[in-house]
Amino acid sequence: MADVIEVGAARGDAPPPAGRNRRRGATQRGHRATPYLFLAPYLVLFLVFGLAPIVFGVWISLHQWDLQLPNRPFIGLENYRDLFSSDSADYADWWSSVRATAIFTVLSVPLLVVVPLGLALLLNEKFPGRTFFRAAFFAPYVLGVAVIGLLWRFLLDANLGLVNRLLGAFGLPADTPWVTDVPWAWVSLVGVTVWWTCGFNAVIYLAGLQDIPAELYEAAKVDGASAWDRFRHVTLPGLRPVLLFVLTTTILASANVFGQSFLITQGAPGEQTRTVVWRIVDEGLRNYDVGQASAMSVLFALLLAVVSIVNFRLFRYRED
Amino acid sequence: MTNVRRVARYTALVLITAVFVTPLVWMALTSLKTYDDAQQDPPSWLPSPFSTYGYDQILGNTANPVLRWFLNSMLAASLHTLLVLVTASMAAYALARLRFQGRKVSFALIVGTLFLPPTSLIIPNFVIADQLGWIDTLTVIVVPGAASAFGVFFLRQFFLSIPAELEEAAVLDGANHWQVFFQVLLPLSKPALATLAVLSFLTNWNDFLWPVYVLFSPERLTLPAGLGLLQGAYVTDYPVIMAGAVLASVPVLILFVLAQRHIIQGVSRSGLKG
């Protein structure tokens, strides 16, 4: 991702030398305010709903800020301290949601990195019907989480659901509590998420696979490399930037899980599958304690930033 | 040897496709069953008889105005898409082609927010929308998410790939920047604009977290936000709930079939090639 952006910025900053003078001439034709007029509509949106919230969120987190109360006293880091001191009311719920999110992320990320790679390899060669299969794998992803949540809540229902009835038809246990008990609830949440989103990662892998020069494979074949050797020594190194992108975006997406647990397990059993994002929005938008919720958001964003940085470091290190 | 491989590949692909598509087919078939039919054990795949029961229940319902939610979603997603296209294309033109003070800083800030988890902005955005008096209105679904850093980044990269000579020729003919933008650049950018339009529409149509918390009047909900209420009201009446889910899926599935190439290319490009 960083590489992509650097390339883009470099291109923007260094227009082709031949065009440089002419372009400057072109710019002078317009009014000096013209560039700002072009930028203005987006910039207003961006400042109010993209940039201001970053600063404002930190500001709110330093206050005792209840949406229903007129007074919003500055309390420094108290909201943060509450999240780390076991005698505060928010402590147990917060760390339970962190635990739930961590479990979900640790279980889903490896599957969402590996399974789509398998799909992409299956689809990589040209053969009749390839477009159809690619579309079929991608189709669930275009549906919203509300739809897939309701659908799987129904399919995974312990009594009426298709999953248990099918298992029963094959003589397997037909009373698994898929959405109401652990570890089944985790299997359900992770399984549904893999079903829902792995087409997305597969498409990204496919684009990456197609950028690996065919000569490299031919050269490897000439050298007598087996299919496994070619995968290890040509495909994987060629996919390294793509793997980094997929890994990073998948960790971020998994850590932000909300709709699946909100709709499918509804937090059950107890509150064990209630995730961080759910905790944050409930604290802020249902209990109106936006100060505390902002502190949670800031902490969460920092944690994810650290994970992303570690990711980039690890991959760079391995490359050397 | 190659024949064996081919058969193995197609077998694997067909099995995997079944896993991906069966739940969706089941959803559509269940929406065409009666209440009793859906409770049968063992379940039948095909509805017998085919019934409009589920759709009758939700379309004529005044407590849960599903049709109204559908129209709200349609209006919100369309206006949102229009807003993204207009603001992002204008900004991307300025950033790709015009020289001005603060260009590098603006671009760096916009791209920087791409790396931020969107959920970390939800709470402050709620407070801002609240200050503006937008909570429980259509505006709050249309506007805040339209500050699309991705849209600007995506279109800027596309504009950079168009040869500047085309615009320079127009300038030599006496066109100003607005004419260049509307008459030269935008017509050449139809594929990119279509991709961004489809992705923006999909995202807004499917959004769940934000509408669930910022809308509460029954007649103002979007369809995904309303589906939760529907489930509450018809706890085990699956034909009704699945009919609602089908209504929420049909527009995006049609869009997907029509614009499959654009969507898949947009996704792979957004990840890699910018």
Encode pLDDT of A253-272 as tens digits. 999 999 999 999 999 899 99
pLDDT in single tens digits along all 274 residues of chain B = 578 888 999 999 999 999 999 999 999 999 999 999 988 877 888 998 899 999 999 988 888 999 999 999 999 999 999 999 999 999 999 999 999 999 999 999 999 888 788 888 999 999 999 999 999 999 999 999 999 899 999 999 999 999 988 888 888 888 899 999 999 999 999 999 999 999 999 999 999 999 999 999 999 999 999 998 898 888 889 999 999 999 999 999 999 999 988 888 888 876 654 3
DSSP at B227: H
Contact present, A200 and A138 (Cβ < 8 Å): yes
Q: Is the pLDDT of residue A294 over 60?
A: yes
Torsion angles phi and psi, residue A66, rounded to 5: -105, 130
Residues of chain B in contact with residue A151, where contact means CB-CB under 8 angstroms, are 23-24, 26-27, 242, 245
Count of other CB atoms within 10 angstroms of residue B174: 8
CA distances from A13 to A10, A21, A66, A311 (A): 5, 14, 46, 29
Contacts with A, B 52-81, CB within 8 Å: none
One-letter amino acid of A158: A
Residue-level length of chain B: 274
CA distance B237 to B258: 32
Closest CA to A103 of A2, A13, A188, A165: A188
Burial class (CB in 10 A: 0-12, 13-18, 19+), A289: buried
Q: Nearest by CB to B126, from A1, A259, A284: name it.
A: A284
CA A202 to chain centre: 14
Residues with Cβ within 8 Å of residue B56, at least 6 apart in sequence: none
For chain B, give the percent of residues with pLDDT over 90. Answer: 72
CA distance A297 to A176: 35
Looking up tokens 């499959």 gives B260
CA distance A5 to B114: 11
Count of other CB atoms within 10 angstroms of residue A59: 15
CA distance B180 to A296: 47
Contact present, B191 and B45 (Cβ < 8 Å): no
Closest CA to A112 of A270, A249, A302, A298: A249
Bridge partners, A74 (sequence order):
A63
Nearest CA in chain A to B131: A67
Interface test with B, best of A36, A46, A62 (most B CBs within 10 A): A46
CA distance A29 to A27: 5
Residues of chain B in contact with residue A305, where contact means CB-CB under 8 angstroms, are 115
For chain A, give the percent of residues with pLDDT over 70. Answer: 89
Contacts with A, B 164-183, CB within 8 Å: 164-165, 167-168, 171, 176-178, 181
- Mean per-residue pLDDT over chain A, rounded: 88
- A140/B263 CB distance under 8 A: no
Q: Is the pLDDT of residue A28 over 70?
A: no
Burial class (CB in 10 A: 0-12, 13-18, 19+), B207: buried
Q: Nearest by CB to A142, from B93, B147, B256: name it.
A: B256
What pLDDT is attached to residue B231? 87
ipTM here? 0.93
Burial class (CB in 10 A: 0-12, 13-18, 19+), A305: middle
Residues with Cβ within 8 Å of residue B99, at least 6 apart in sequence: A23, A24, A27, A35
Torsion angles phi and psi, residue A213, rounded to 5: -60, 135
Q: Nearest by CB to A137, from B20, B42, B106: name it.
A: B20
Structure confidence by residue, pLDDT tens digits, B180-195: 999 999 999 999 999 9
- A4/B273 CB distance under 8 A: yes
First-to-last C-alpha distance (Å) of chain A: 19
Residues with Cβ within 8 Å of residue A191, at least 6 apart in sequence: none
Interface test with B, best of A22, A39, A307 (most B CBs within 10 A): A39
Residues of chain B in contact with residue A292, where contact means CB-CB under 8 angstroms, are none
CA distance B78 to A300: 32
CA distance A310 to A290: 30
SS3 category, B100: coil
Burial class (CB in 10 A: 0-12, 13-18, 19+), A231: middle
Burial B5-33 (b: 16+ CB within 10 A, else e): eeeeeeeebeebbeebeebbebbbbbbbb
What pLDDT is attached to residue A1? 36
Q: Distance, in angstroms, between B229 CA and closest chain A CA?
A: 11
Q: Is the pLDDT of residue A20 over 60?
A: no
For chain B, give the percent of residues with pLDDT over 70. Answer: 98
Residues of chain A in contact with residue B106, where contact means CB-CB under 8 angstroms, are 39, 43
Instruction: At A54, list the tokens.
Output: 């970053």
Residue A6, CA atoms < 13 Å, CB-side half-sphere: 3
What pLDDT is attached to residue A53? 95
pLDDT tier, A144 (very low <50, low <70, confident <90, very high otherwise): very high
- The stretch A119-132 carries a mean pLDDT of 91
Opening angle at CA A138, ends B258 and B7, nearest 5: 110
pTM for the full model?
A: 0.90
Residues of chain B in contact with residue A16, where contact means CB-CB under 8 angstroms, are 164
B233 touches chain A (CB under 8 A): no
B98 touches chain A (CB under 8 A): yes
DSSP at B145: G
Q: Is the pLDDT of residue A7 over 50?
A: no
What pLDDT is attached to residue A10? 37
- Reported for A117-122, long-range contacts at CB under 8 A and 24+ positions apart, including other chains, are A117/A201, A117/A202, A117/A205, A117/A239, A119/A198, A119/A199, A119/A202, A119/A205, A119/B16, A120/A202, A120/A203, A120/A205, A120/A206, A120/A208, A120/A209, A121/A209, A121/A231, A121/A235, A122/B9, A122/B12, A122/B13, A122/B16
